[in-house]
Each structure stands twice: as structure tokens, then as C-alpha cells.
Amino acid sequence: MEPEPVTVPVDGSPGYSITPTNPLLLVSVPLSPDALRLDEDDDLEVFSKDTTLTDGNSFSPLLLASPSSMTNQYKFEDEPDAKDIFITVDEPESHINAIETFITYRVATKTSRSQFDSSEFEVRRRYQDFLWLKSRLEEAHPTLIIPPLPEKFIVKGMVERFTDEFIETRRKALHKFLNRIADHPTLTFNEDFKIFLTAQAWELTSHKKQGPGLFSRMGQTIKAVASSVRGVKNRPEEFAELGEYVDAFNQKISVLDKISQRIYKEQKDYNEELKEYGPIYTLWSASEEELVDTLKGMAGCIDKSCKDTNALNAKISQDLIPIIHEYVLYSETLTGVQKRRDQIQAELDAKVEASNNKKTDRDTLQEEIDKLEDKVECANNALKADWERWKQNMQADIKITFTNMAENRINYYEECLATWESFLSSQKWDFQMEIKQEDKS
């Protein structure tokens, strides 16, 4: 699939300051009335909200293609084997100005794709920008499973919004987010994605402005609310099954999330107690004569176990918990994707019902109905294919994550085993000596 090259219009309209590229001098953009201006621009054809037919690829003009040919698109059998784009998210930096404090992250891209003007890009993005990208992707591909973003912020227990831990967790999640998009056979070629990776701050800002504004988004919401009532009723069986699975999965994964976090906490508490435990043996050794070596040895073993427990817990925090949590966040996506599919179908069903009731205008209605039928079929096929892909990814992720979790624990126990065994062998050797001395006397 070769996407057509699209140029990004550059808007030099007043009201936006041109910011320097040095991220440290980033100045926040004041919210002016211009921000809400919805300019009509000829170049915006590509980004029009006419989602009557296109669904997957924003670039291919498949306005009148048959459903079957479109089905082929979504089989994803020809996924590129070699990765041709590498994205990293790192270097969080804090920015303080009169209005707010926020964090930007460096997004570095290396790619060999011809659609990109160069092979390396480096931009700074803030969380808002990621939110924007996600909503753009959702709009462009309503029945594709868009990767989740980390939560906005966790209110409970945090006095300061941005602790180092929080920032690091978020950074890793954002990194994951972009890479999942890059790995997705359709999303990876999305134009907004490319802009996100490459545009300088001011370019992005102006581009954001040009997207479908609040009003059309509001219109969508109204439509969604109206049709959601009818949506789920006529779900085809396969999607009903999918829905049931999603509900069950969401429940299981959120419990797994809780369990994993609890294990982390319990182990942390255990570690805290261990820290106090070892030194008592050392203290004791100070009062003893014969038992000094043994007691000191015990203290050493316990202290080592303490370190090992800490290392294991760090792995849980870095490897296990983020993945499980990402799949918890996926639940919202999965639910949303189903709703949107239902909504598209509801539109069709409404038109069909209208056509049945109104004897007149049947021909015009029929044309609309045909369009909508195609739309529904596209949507269903897109979702089906992406669902299969998602499931496979999920299984692979879960398998790797839990296998690693088990591996980490095995290594932990092996470390502890070695510690205690070497202590024991040193003591047993002394025992041998004592027995020999007793024999002599």
C-alpha cells in the first residue's frame, strides 16, 4: 500500500507566536479567540469529516471501491517484516510559566520511509499533544483499536502532580503508545501521526487548529448519544460475542492489575522489615564470643536477601505492572470501538427503518442505504481484522510478561539460595573442625 504524499499547509495567521526551537525557552501559547477559529481551507479536503466511506487509509481515494476489495485491505497479511521506523520518547523536561507548569518529552524518530522528508527527527511534545493525536486517530479510524494513553493524572495520594516516578511511568507509557501506532499496519501511515513526529511546535499548533473543530465533534457526540440507544440491540452475533469477551476480559485484567500492585506493595513492606532484621544479628554478635561468625554470617545473608528482594520488586514495577495497566486502559478503547461500530450500524438501521415507513423517496433513500451498508461492512471488517490482531498481540504480550515474571522470581530464589548455601558451607566447615578437636581431647 503506497500512501500518497500530502503536504501540510503552513498557517502563518496572526495570534500565534512563533516559538524558538529551543525547548528550554518554550513559551506557552496564550488562548486567544483565534484558537477556536474554524478556517475553511481547500487544503483541508484530506481532513474532511466525510467519513461516509473511507475508514482505514486516509490517503487512498477508495470512495467507490467495492466492499470485497476493501476487505482485502484489512487482512494485514502483508505486514512489513522489517521495521522502518524507530521512535523513542525520553528526556522529560519541566516548563514553568505564568499560567501553568507542564512537562514536555523529547520524541525522536529515525526512519527510512520515503514519505518523510528526512531520516531523523526530534521534537518536543507535551501530554496534550498526545491526546490530540489519539483523538485524531480515533476520528479517522473509528473501528480500529487505538492504543491507550496513560491516565491524565492520578489524584489520590499525590500532593505534587509530577513526581519523578509519575513522570517516568508516563514517559514509558507514551513511548509504548507511539510504538504501538508505528507497529500498526494502518495507523503507522496516518498523516497526523507523521505530523506529530515531525512538525515543530508552532507547526503542530497551527495544524491542530485546522482539524475538524469543536462543532463537528459536538455534532458527532449528539449523533452518538441519539443512536447509542438503538446501537447494541442489533449486534451481529460475532460482535455480540466480542462484546461479551471484552466485558469479561476487562474485568479480569483490572483484577490482575490490582493483584500485581498489591504484590508490589506487600513486597515493599516485606523489604522494609528485612532491612531492620539483618542488623539485629550483627548487634547480637557484639555480645557473643563463640557465635560471632555465625551471627555475622546470618546478618550478611539477610542483608543480601534484602537487596535481592528490592531488585525483584523493581522488575515488577518496571516490567509487569505497566503492561497489565496498559491492558486495563485498553478496556476503554475496546468499549469505545464497539460503540462506534454499533453507531455506524445504527445509522444504517435508522435509514432502513425510515425507508420502510416512507413509501416516497425510496430511491434516494436506497442510494443512501447502499452507502451506509458499505460503510457498515467496512467498519465491521476493519474491527474484525484489528480485533484479531489485537488478540494476537495481547496473547503474545501476556505470555512474555508472565514468563518474564516467573523468570525473575526463579532468578531471585536462585540468588537467595546461593547466598544461604555459601553461608551454610562456611559454617559446616567449622563444625567439622570442632568435631575433630573434641575427638582429640
Partner 1 sequence: MGDGAGLREAEVICAREAMSDHREPELYHAGEPESDVDEESDGLAGSGEVTDENCLLKKLEINVSEAEKRTGKNAVNMQETYTAYLIETRSLDGQPDTQNSPMDSLWRRYSEFELLRNYLSVSYPFVVVPPLPEKRAEFVWHKLSADNMDPDFVERRRIGLENFLLRVASHPVLSHDNIFTLFLTQDNGWKEAVNEANLQVKADSRLKSLNATFRVKNPDKRFTELKHYSDELQSVISHLLRVRARVADRLYGVYKVHGNYGRVFSEWSAIEKEMGDGLQSAGHHMDVYAASIDDILEEEEHYADQLKEYLFYAEALRAVCRKHELMQYDLEMSAQDLASKKQQCEELATGTVRTFSLKGMTSKLFGQETPEQRESKIKLLEEQIEEGQEQLKVQNAESREFVKNSWLEIERFKDQKNRDLKEALISYAVMQISMCKKGIQVWTNAKECFSKM
- 274 counts as binding partner 1 under rule CB under 8 A: yes
Question: Which x/- pattern over 277-316 shows residues binding partner 1 (rule: CB under 8 A)?
Answer: x--xx-xx--x--xx--xx--x--x---x-----------
- Which one among 76, 153, 215, 413 touches partner 1, defined by CB under 8 A? 413
Beta carbon of residue 257, minimum distance to partner 1 (angstroms, whole number): 10
Q: How far apart are CA 170 and CA 193, in angstroms?
A: 19
- 370 counts as binding partner 1 under rule CB under 8 A: no
Beta carbon of residue 331, minimum distance to partner 1 (angstroms, whole number): 14
How many chain residues are in contact with partner 1, going by CB under 8 A? 52
Beta carbon of residue 392, minimum distance to partner 1 (angstroms, whole number): 9
Beta carbon of residue 25, minimum distance to partner 1 (angstroms, whole number): 49
Per-residue cell: 187: 495507523
* Stretch touching partner 1 by CB under 8 A, among 11-19, 52-60, 104-112, 421-429: 421-429
Instruction: Closer to partner 1 by CB, 68 or 425: give it.
Output: 425
Q: How far apart are CA 213 and CA 358, in angstroms?
A: 34
CB 430 within 8 A of CB 293: yes
* Stretch touching partner 1 by CB under 8 A, among 12-20, 95-103, 118-126, 260-268: 260-268
Per-residue cell: 188: 503507522
Beta carbon of residue 406, minimum distance to partner 1 (angstroms, whole number): 4
What count of other Cβ atoms lies within 10 Å of the Cβ of residue 215?
10
Give the β-pairing of 85-96 and 120-126. unpaired
Instruction: Closer to partner 1 by CB, 337 or 405: give it.
Output: 405
- 402 counts as binding partner 1 under rule CB under 8 A: yes
Beta carbon of residue 80, minimum distance to partner 1 (angstroms, whole number): 25
- 334 counts as binding partner 1 under rule CB under 8 A: no
* Stretch touching partner 1 by CB under 8 A, among 88-96, 98-106, 142-150, 274-282: 274-282
Instruction: Closer to partner 1 by CB, 99 or 255: give it.
Output: 255
- 267 counts as binding partner 1 under rule CB under 8 A: yes
Beta carbon of residue 399, minimum distance to partner 1 (angstroms, whole number): 5
User: Under the rule (CB under 8 A), what is the footprint of partner 1?
Assistant: 245, 248-249, 252, 255-256, 259, 262-263, 266-267, 269-270, 273-274, 276-277, 280-281, 283-284, 287, 290-291, 294-295, 298, 301, 305, 395, 398-399, 402-403, 405-407, 409-410, 412-414, 416-417, 420-421, 423-424, 427-428, 438, 441
